[in-house]
Amino acid sequence: MALPEWDGELTSVRHDPDTGAWFVIGVHSTRLGPASGGTRAMVYDGVADAVADARRLAGAMTSKMAAAGLPMGGGKSVIALPAPRAELDDATWHRILHRHAANLNLLGGNYTTGPDVGTSAADMDVLATLTPHVFGRSAAAGGPGSSAPMTALGVFAAIEVGVAEAGLDGVEGLRVLVQGLGAVGADVARLAARAGGKLIVTDVDPARCTAAADELGAEVIDTGDVLSRACDVLVPCATGGLLSPATAATVPCTVIAGAANNLLTDDAAAEVLRRRGITYAPDFVANAGGAIHLVGREVLGWDAAEVTARTRAVGDTLAGIFADARAHDISTVAAAGRAAARTLADGPRPTSTA
């Protein structure tokens, strides 16, 4: 397979003939510390797609760690499954986790994994019996538990700062459209409803929509309407790639702040949003709460209160990025990127562990 050029440090690709799964680990950068980022398990169109996804997600983790001031590098694992996760029997899934753990061990701690789409704290518990290079075990197994609540808290802080940047007077009364009501999206919807937002929701799983309608009085829309339904705040919490230059040119909202990694297909989409006056909270800044939780609890020894305070500070980081973007007439992604680049250029710095 001919691989395109990449600015990362290492890509490991392995195949398991017994299950048909492919395992890709992208180590983008160890400049600030050992690389880290979750394991994404899903079906891909082919191994080239899996490699491209792992590399792009790993690059986003480098920016995320730098922007959040965490002493870690960026990496990501992708497991290209032979069939959707729900269709795999327990024996096959366990074999897959065993192969993944063996690959993690080969990297010897230069990369530590954690949960992502398609994997959970329960899967991290299994991996942790096979390798030490795992964050995000369940609380029952002695870990810090799910990162989703902190990710949601950080996204909500991003929404609040984005709303202020757009000149709106708080979340109360605003139409908040949440795409994806999984672990993060459902929590963000609750926080927005509590702040008085008028919830509009969508998910490919109708049961999740019904639950949000019952609990929060949310209006449910079709998944296909997410880019055409007018709202004040768009909160993408499903998968990436929602906004291309073409869709950014028409999306009818004022603020965009969500959890989905790699929400934009490319930086040109951010420039389109800037020219339209849409306030965009860069994904790798807005969704850093999960990384702050995992690295804070498992590397830096922070307690829950410290993790919460640092996650709320995502709002302060974003306010600085918005101000820089405004002052220099650049997109918020360009402003966040150059802040992360400065941190990376400075290199590792001593970190406080309390």
**Contact residues for ligand PPY (CB under 6 A)?**
36-38, 114, 116, 135, 147, 261, 290-291, 294-295
Residue, CB closest to ligand NAD: 182
From residue 191, give the alpha-carbon distance in Å to each of 47, 185, 306.
38, 10, 20
| Residue 133 lies near ligand NAD (rule: CB under 6 A) | no
Cα–Cα–Cα angle for 87, 91, 94, rounded to 5 degrees: 95
Site string for ligand NAD, 235-274 (x = CB under 6 A): --xxx-------------------xxx-------------
Element (H, E) at 327: helix 314-328
Selection from ligand PPY, ligand NAD, none that 37 binds (CB < 5 to 8 A by kind) is ligand PPY
Angle between helices 148-165 and 314-328 (to 10 degrees): 40
Q: Indicate which of ligand NAD, ligand PPY, none lies near residue 294 (CB less than 5 to 8 Å, by partner kind).
A: ligand PPY
Residue 62 contact, options ligand NAD, ligand PPY, none, Cβ 5-8 Å cut-off depending on partner type = none
**How many CB atoms lie under 10 A from the CB of residue 125?**
17
Residue 202 interacts, among ligand PPY, ligand NAD, none and using kind-specific CB cut-offs from 5 to 8 Å, with ligand NAD
**Cβ atoms of residues 121 and 136 within 8 Å:** yes
Angle at 12 between CA 334 and CA 42, to 5 degrees: 75
Q: Which of 51, 80, 158, 181 binds ligand NAD (CB under 6 A)?
A: 181
204 binds ligand NAD (CB under 6 A): yes
Dihedral pair phi/psi, residue 26, rounded to 5°:
-105, 120
- Binding segment for ligand NAD (CB under 6 A), chosen from 179-187, 192-200, 247-255, 274-282, is 179-187
For the bound state, the minimum distance from the C-beta of residue 239 to ligand PPY, rounded and expressed in Å, comes to 12
Using rule CB under 6 A, residue 56 touches ligand NAD: no
Q: How far, in Å, are 173, 240, 241, 334, 354 from residue 57 at the CA level?
A: 35, 10, 12, 18, 29
Q: What is the DSSP letter of 2?
A: P
Q: Name the active-site residue from 28, 40, 55, 76.
A: 76
Residue recorded with tokens 């009818």: 252
| Contacts (Cβ under 8 Å, ≥6 apart) of 274 | 280, 325, 330, 331, 332
The dihedrals phi and psi of 201, each to the nearest 5 degrees, come to: -135, 160
Min separation Cβ 172 and ligand NAD, Å: 25
Beta partners for residue 346, in sequence order: none
Q: Is 76 a catalytic residue?
A: yes
- Shortest reach from residue 70's CB to ligand PPY, in Å: 8
Specify burial of residue 303 (Cβ count, 10 A radius: 0-12, 13-18, 19+).
exposed
Please name every residue paired with 115 in a beta bridge, in sequence order, or none if there are none.
39
Between the alpha carbon of residue 181 and those of residues 101, 158, 177, 285, the distances in Å are: 30, 18, 11, 20
The CB-of-301 to ligand PPY minimum distance in angstroms stands at 16
222 counts as binding ligand NAD under rule CB under 6 A: no
- By CB under 6 A, how many residues form the interface with ligand NAD? 26
Query: Does 151 engage in binding with ligand NAD (CB under 6 A)?
Result: yes
Figure out which of the listed residues 59, 180, 296, 337 binds ligand NAD, where binding follows CB under 6 A: 180
Q: How far is the CB of 295 from ligand PPY (least distance, A)?
A: 6
Tell me the closest approach of the beta carbon of residue 89 to ligand PPY, in angstroms.
26
CB of 268 to ligand NAD, least distance (A): 21
- Give whichever of 33 and 37 is closer to ligand PPY, judged by the CB atom: 37
Query: Which of 52, 58, 157, 184 touches ligand NAD (CB under 6 A)?
Result: 184
Q: What are 8's two structure tokens?
A: 């990362």
The catalytic residues are: 76
Q: Given the rule CB under 6 A, which residues bind ligand NAD?
A: 116-117, 147-148, 151, 179-185, 202-205, 208, 223, 237-239, 259-261, 287, 290
